[in-house]
Amino acid sequence: MDTALLIRPARRGDDRALLALVRALNEYQGDPVEHFDAHKLYRDVFGQDASLRAFVAERDGKLIGYTFFHDGYETAYAQRGVYLCDLYVVPEAQGEGVGRALVAAVAATAKATDRTFLWWVVKDWNAAARGFYKALGAISEPVGAHALTFDAFEALAQEGKARAAA
């Protein structure tokens, strides 16, 4: 039995397992699970105009973790970086270095493309994740995350469109 951990870019054949991992993370965080489906996975991760990159952690032919990330920029330092938007490891593999290996793969990819930082957010209640990130050497910044979604987003977009047309 091969117990070696493999970290690799996600590929199309990973779709069902990757969707299950995304669902598990969203359920764990109390986030909606119905929005990210096979169509969005193909469009946003594998499509011609993909906006996300992904690594998966595989052991014994089974996906046990993943990370999604995309480019970012920080004007305060005039530096390009990477935003880590998802990181998940199945509970039975947590504490075995899988999450660290996934983040390290993203860092190596970022470094190879002249990015100088990784950043992400974590929910206040997630003490385990905060402890993990601290062990990586990450600094913690007190910030408030904000989002415009659904009706509020649509209304503001329409306002912007109307102003642009005027």
In degrees, to the nearest 5, what angle opens at C-alpha 55 toward C-alphas 138 and 65?
80
Is the CB of residue 64 less than 8 Å from the CB of residue 47?
Answer: no
Note the pLDDT of residue 1. 40
Grouping H, G, I as helix, E, B as strand and the rest as coil, residue 5 is strand
The beta-carbon contacts of 92-99 under 8 Å, at least 24 apart in sequence, are 92/64, 93/57, 93/59, 93/64, 93/65, 94/128, 96/5, 97/5, 98/5, 98/57, 98/59, 98/64, 98/65, 99/65, 99/132
Specify whether the CB–CB gap between 52 and 85 falls below 8 A.
yes
What residue spans define the domains of the chain? 5-120
Class of domain 5-120: alpha beta
Per-residue tens of pLDDT for the chain, all 166 residues: 447 999 999 999 999 999 999 999 999 999 999 999 999 999 999 999 999 999 999 999 999 999 999 999 999 999 999 999 999 999 999 999 999 999 999 999 999 999 999 999 999 999 999 999 999 999 998 888 888 889 999 999 999 999 898 7
pLDDT score for 145:
85
Locate 146 and state its tokens: 């904000």
22, 61, 119, 130, 159 from 28: Cα distances, Å: 10, 24, 21, 15, 35
E strands present in 23-148: 53-59, 62-74, 79-89, 118-119
